[in-house]
Amino acid sequence: MATFGFIRHGSTAWNKERRAQGSSNIPLDQDGINEARLVAERLSGESWDVIYASPQLRAKQTAEIIAITLGVDEIHFDPRLREINGGQIEGTTESERIVRWGNNWRELDLGIEQHESVVERGLAAVRDISDANPDKNILIVSHGVFIRKIISELAPALSEEAALLNTAVTVLEENGEVWECSLYNCTKHLRK
């Protein structure tokens, strides 16, 4: 039985501005670096064997901070773990999207990656990672929308409505064909 710890990256300037990041390569801001250090400290009291991460800068930086603290020598960067591609909305705020495309901008074809595409690549990555690491504790450092979509497929009883917080920890355990969630969107490390 594999255990997966999904970690959303630390905060960025665009998070604070509520800009759609998508596939844009945005770095962590100082708060994000501090958040990554705090989640790394928290995880150091647990047993994690391997780290996989999105190669996008904000997730990469978060994973590197965690790896140093945990003493993990290698991070496996997998492009299938990247954030959903936001198409034309990347770099924009909600109010900018409404000005540009109107209140119904979500109904337009703005080049946003389709749900099915995200789920297909994400589930394939999880299967491959699980197969390569049987009975291990695996950290995946990725992105909020991506993680929510994958978790909602693996554990459908969980709602994907609530946004995952920066450096939130979600833990799923694979037990045959069934995935059980033992922790969801937890940021207790940020309340110190």
69 assigned ligand-binding residue: no
Ligand-binding site membership of 10 (annotated): yes
Q: Cα dihedral angle (160, 161, 162, 168), rounded to 10 degrees?
A: 20
Set 35, 83, 113, 153: catalytic member: 83
**Residue 14 among known ligand-binding residues:** yes
Q: Which of 9, 35, 143, 174 is labelled catalytic? A: 9
The DSSP bridge pattern shows strands 137-142 and 50-53 to be parallel
Asked whether residue 179 is marked as a ligand-binding residue, the answer is no
Is position 137 annotated in a ligand binding site? Answer: no
Ligand-binding site membership of 102 (annotated): no
Characterize 97-112 residue by residue with b for buried, 16 or more Cβ atoms within 10 angstroms of its Cβ, and e for exposed. beeebeeebeeeebeb
**If DSSP codes are grouped into helix, strand and coil, which group holds residue 77?**
strand
Per the annotation, the verdict on 64 as an active-site residue is no
Residue 55 CA to residue 69 CA, distance in Å, equals 19
Q: Is 8 assigned to a binding site?
A: yes
In the residue annotation, 83 being an active-site residue is answered as yes
Binding site for substrate, by residue number, is 8-15, 58
Binding site, by residue number, is 8-15, 58
Active site residues: 9, 83
